[in-house]
Structure 1
C-alpha cells in the first residue's frame, strides 16, 4: 500500500449557486497544482484575493514531480512551506554518472557553505500540493479554494474574463479581472482559446516506477548509460521519503505503453536493478514527451504559467521548477496591477522574461534528450566515444548530458550592466547568506521578502524613498551583521543593490540617489 494517504479536500457549493453573495474577483486561478496554489499564496501575502478553481478534490496521484531545486525551495520558503518541505524531503547535492557498471564521474551541485536551502530535495508532488493547500488555508479571506469546479468555457475581453464552471450542483459563470491558467500540460483553457504549442515531440518512451522497499541506497542522483541491468538504454534512480524509490527506464519508441505498465513486465525490470529484495509497486506510468511552449504567455486578460505555457522532458528537473519561477515573476506584478501600483504593460515583461526562461529550459532539455536517445549511427558512435573518454579525461565529462539540472534563469539580457565592478550584475537572482539581526540569526533572502529593497553592503546610509525599504549590511555594524563574511564576499563592499519583490537584482549603485532609485522602480512597474 502507498505510504501517502490520499484524502479528499471536499466540495462546497459556491455562493453563485447557494444564494450567497459572490465576491468581486480580481484574480481567478485555474488549477490547484503546485503552480496555481503557489500563486494564490504569493498573492495573499501581498494582500490580493484570488479564487482557485480545480476539477478534482485530491492531490496528484503518484509522485510525479519530485526534484525541487535550491531556487525553488527559496521561493517556497518565502511562501511559508520551504522548511516543511526540506524537513520531509530527501536532501542531496551529488550526482553520479555511470556507463554500464562503471562510475564515470560525480558532480557536486552546491560545494560551498552559507546557504539556507540545499541544492536539491526529492519530495513527491502529492506532499508539495498538500503543504500548499494547508498554507493556502491560512488565508481564508484571501484564498477561495473551490474543488470540483470544472472549467467548461471561457470568454476573454479587454476588461476581464468570464469563466463557465460545472459543479455537482450545476453550472455557473464567474467573472474576474484576470485569469491565470495553471491547468497543466493538457490545459483546457489553452484549448478553449484555440492556442497551440510549438516545439518538438520526441519519439521515445520511458517507464516511471515508484517502488516502496527497505534499502540503503544513497540519496545521490544516479544515472546509467547502457547499464547491464537494462541493456542498450538508460536508467535513473532517485530516493524519496517513506522508503519510496523513483526508477526511470528508457524503453524505446516501439514499446507498447499499456503492455509495459503491466506488473509482469514491470517487476522483472525492477528486480534486475534492486535484486531479490522485497518491494511493492506504488505507482507506474509510461510516458513520452515534447519540448514545446506557447508563442506568448499573455493573451489579453488570460495569463499562462507552468505546464500550460511550456513543457519539457523530465530530465533536469526543469518542469515544476520552471513553473514556480513563473509564479515568482508573475505574482508581484499581478499584485501591483490589481492594487493600482503598476500598469498592465508590465505583463509584457513577464511574458518576455518567462518565454526566455522557457526557451532556456527547452534548449537544455532537448539537448539532454538528444544525447540520451541518439538516433543515427554517427550520433551513437560519438556518444560511445565520449562515454569511453569520460572516466579518464575531464574535458569529455562536460560533453555528457544526463540532464542539465535546474538553475535560476538569468535575466541579465533585460538589463544594462552599467557597473562592471559588481560581483552580481542586474538580472541575477539574489544569492543567500547567513546574517545576524538584532542579535538573532537570519538569512539575507528572509529579509528580501516583500517589495523593493535597497541593500547597502559594507555599511553606509541610503536615501529615504517612499515604498522602498533600505537596509545596510556590515561586518560589525549595520542593520544586518555579516560576521562570517559570506554576504560581503558575494556582493562586494561599498555597493548598494536594489532588489525586486521576486529577489532579482534590478540595479547596482556605488552611491544610490533617490532620483535614480525611483527611476528604476518606476521602470520596473511600467510607470
Structure 2
C-alpha cells in the first residue's frame, strides 16, 4: 500500500511499447541474452555486457524509470562499478556524499560513526541518490549503447519455456503479444520475480514482523547529509526512526510501527503528518514541508539456494531480499551484475565454458549470506523481534550514554565489499605466509593514487582506473620494465582473443613504451600490496584479485587463466620460455 501526493522533483520520460521489426508471433532475432527487469540491476548488467560487445534485450513491464521511495544509498564499491559502466558523472553531480552518521537514544547522542575514508580513496564511502535518479543515469548510459542494448518498455513476461541451449519468453505488450528466444535469461525482475515463479523457485530465510512506514517529504534545509537514527525519541516514543537527506530537498524518513498498530491506518496522511511534524520539531527543522510519498515496509532476509538454473540466472531482488538496514539491497544487486557480466560475456563469446557461470552462483550466494548475516544483526537491533532482543537493546543504549565502550554494540555497519575468499576461481597461494599484507585472492583491489606515464605524458589517476573489461596482471617492477615472458603471454592471449593486459608498476617515474607505466608517486602502493620487484597481482575484470605471486612466470598466469575459463579439452597451450 502506498500514498503518492505529488510528483518528485524528477520527471521521468514515458516510453511506449513497440513490437520487434517484422514480428508475426515470434521475434525473428535470437538474442544472446534477455534481461527481464529494467531497474538498476538489469541496466547495470546490460551495460556490463555491452563493455564486452555482447548484445542483449532488456524487458521492462513499466513505461519509465521507477517512481516512489526505494533504494537511496549507493556505496563506494557500487560507484567503482558504475564508473566502469560509463554512468558515474550523473551520480557524482547529483548525489549527496556522506561519510558517517549519528545515533540518538531518547534525547542523547550515543554514537557518531565514520566510514573508512582516507587519502587513498577516489570516491566517497556513500552517496544518497533516489532510485529514479539511479535508473535514469544508467538508462542514459544504456541509450548511448543502443547498438548493443535493446530496451523494450511495457513488455511483461507471461510464460517461460526453458531448454538445454536457451529459452523462449512469451511476452505481452499493449501493441501485441509475441515470443522471443535467447541463449540466456537473466531475471532482474525484483522481489516478486515472474521468472522465479515460472521456474517454481522460492526464496529461503526469515521475514520479520516489524513494520516501518516510509515517508518522503520535500524540505529545504542546510543540514549536511548523514545517516540519522533515533531510538525511542521524544517525538515518537517506543519507535525507531531513520532519516536520510536526498538531492532536490527530498528527505527519506523511516519509522517503526509499534506492536498492535494497524498497518492500513498507519499510512493514512492524518496519522503520518503529526508524527513527521513532531520529528522535525525535535530535530530543529522549522521550515515548511510537504509529503510526497508514503508506503509500508517489512524486512526480509531471504535468498535462493542457487542463482543459476540451467539457462536462467538470477540477480538482485529476484535472487535475494536483504533488510534495508546497512543499505545492502541495491548495492548487492549492482555487485551481482558486475560479477555476472564478465562471466556471461566470456561464455557468450565462446571464451569460457558454461561452468564459469556456476562460480557466479557460488560467489554471489556466499555474498548474499554475508549480507544477510550483517543485515539480520542490524534488523534485530533496529527492530527487535522479541522481548529479549528489546531488553538487550535498551541496556546497550542506556549504557552507551555514559560508557563510550558500549557504543560499538550499536550496529551501524554499512555495506562493504565482499571478499570471495573461498571462491573456486582463486589461485591457491603456493607459499603460505609469503605475503604479510595486501589484498589476498578473492578480495577487492585496494585503492591508491598513481601517476600513469604514457607516450611521454603523465596523468594522475587511481589504481582502480586501470581495471577495465579484461584480466589485468599488475607487475611490480624496479624500473617499469615488464619481463619478456609476460610480454609474450600478452601477445599470445591477444591471439586467442582473450582480454588481458600486463601493467608495470614502478616506485619511480619511468617512460611508457608500448605499455603505459604506472608510477607510485605517493610511495604507498608497494607497501599497501606488500610488493617487491617481481611481485604480480592477477586481477579479474570485476576488480577482485584472482592470484598473486612473489615472482610469477607466464606459465603460472596462463594456468590461472585456464583454470578460470575452463577451455574445452584439446585447446592448445603455449609454453613460455
Q: TM-score of the superposition, structure 1-length normalised?
A: 0.96
- Cα distance in 1 for partners of 2:258, 2:85 equals 40
Partner of 1:407: 416
SS of 2:422's equivalent? helix
Indicate if the aligned counterparts of 1:205 and 1:253 stay in contact, CA closer than 8 A: no
Partner of 1:480: 518
Q: CA deviation at 1:329?
A: 0.9
Q: CA deviation at 1:20?
A: 11
Structural mapping, 1:306-345, within 5 Å: 306-345=316-355
- Cα distance in 1 for partners of 2:259, 2:528 equals 47
Structural mapping, 1:278-357, within 5 Å: 278-357=288-367
Indicate if the aligned counterparts of 1:162 and 1:176 stay in contact, CA closer than 8 A: yes
SS of 2:23's equivalent? helix
SS of 1:413's equivalent? coil
Task: State which drifts further: 5-14 or 446-455.
Answer: 5-14
Q: CA deviation at 1:280?
A: 1.2
423, 427, 432: which one pairs with 2:438?
423
- Cα distance in 2 for partners of 1:148, 1:445 equals 37
RMSD over aligned CA atoms reads 1.7
Structural mapping, 1:385-464, within 5 Å: 385-402=395-412, 404-414=413-423, 415=426, 416-418=428-430, 419-420=432-433, 421=435, 422-438=437-453, 439-459=458-478, 460-462=481-483, 463-464=486-487
Structural mapping, 1:63-462, within 5 Å: 63-275=69-281, 276-402=286-412, 404-414=413-423, 415=426, 416-418=428-430, 419-420=432-433, 421=435, 422-438=437-453, 439-459=458-478, 460-462=481-483
Q: CA deviation at 1:282?
A: 1.6
Q: CA deviation at 1:391?
A: 3.5
Indicate if the aligned counterparts of 2:209 and 2:385 stay in contact, CA closer than 8 A: no
Per-residue CA deviation, residues 375-425 of structure 1 (Å, 9 max, x unaligned), is 4433322222211222443432222224x2110111112243445314211
Per-residue CA deviation, residues 437-456 of structure 1 (Å, 9 max, x unaligned), is 23111221111112110002
**Number of residue pairs matched by the alignment:** 526
- Cα distance in 2 for partners of 1:265, 1:519 equals 64
- Cα distance in 2 for partners of 1:10, 1:230 equals 44
- Cα distance in 2 for partners of 1:328, 1:520 equals 21
Closer, same or farther: CA 482–291 of 1 in aligned 2, 3 Å: same
Indicate if the aligned counterparts of 1:16 and 1:172 stay in contact, CA closer than 8 A: no
Indicate if the aligned counterparts of 1:203 and 1:253 stay in contact, CA closer than 8 A: no
Closer, same or farther: CA 216–60 of 1 in aligned 2, 3 Å: same
- Cα distance in 1 for partners of 2:467, 2:287 equals 48
526, 545, 559: which one pairs with 1:505?
545
- Cα distance in 2 for partners of 1:293, 1:377 equals 27
Structure 1 residue runs of 4+, over 6 Å off? 18-21
Partner of 1:524: 564
- Structure 2: give runs of 5+ residues left out of the alignment: 1-5, 511-516, 568-577
Indicate if the aligned counterparts of 2:25 and 2:178 stay in contact, CA closer than 8 A: no
Closer, same or farther: CA 20–389 of 1 in aligned 2, 3 Å: closer
- Cα distance in 1 for partners of 2:504, 2:109 equals 47
Q: CA deviation at 1:493?
A: 2.6
SS of 2:202's equivalent? coil
- Cα distance in 2 for partners of 1:376, 1:139 equals 50
SS of 1:116's equivalent? coil
- Structure 1: give runs of 5+ residues left out of the alignment: none
Indicate if the aligned counterparts of 1:110 and 1:118 stay in contact, CA closer than 8 A: no
Structural mapping, 1:38-49, within 5 Å: 38-49=44-55
Q: CA deviation at 1:11?
A: 2.6
SS of 1:156's equivalent? strand
- Cα distance in 1 for partners of 2:563, 2:209 equals 45
- Cα distance in 2 for partners of 1:133, 1:144 equals 11
Task: State which drifts further: 203-212 or 250-259.
Answer: 250-259
Larger-Rg structure = 2
Q: TM-score of the superposition, structure 2-length normalised?
A: 0.88
Indicate if the aligned counterparts of 2:25 and 2:179 stay in contact, CA closer than 8 A: no
Indicate if the aligned counterparts of 2:307 and 2:313 stay in contact, CA closer than 8 A: yes
Q: CA deviation at 1:181?
A: 0.3
Closer, same or farther: CA 20–410 of 1 in aligned 2, 3 Å: closer
- Cα distance in 1 for partners of 2:261, 2:341 equals 42
Q: CA deviation at 1:151?
A: 0.3
Q: CA deviation at 1:19?
A: 9.6
- Cα distance in 2 for partners of 1:428, 1:335 equals 22
- Cα distance in 2 for partners of 1:407, 1:272 equals 34
Q: CA deviation at 1:485?
A: 2.7
SS of 1:17's equivalent? coil
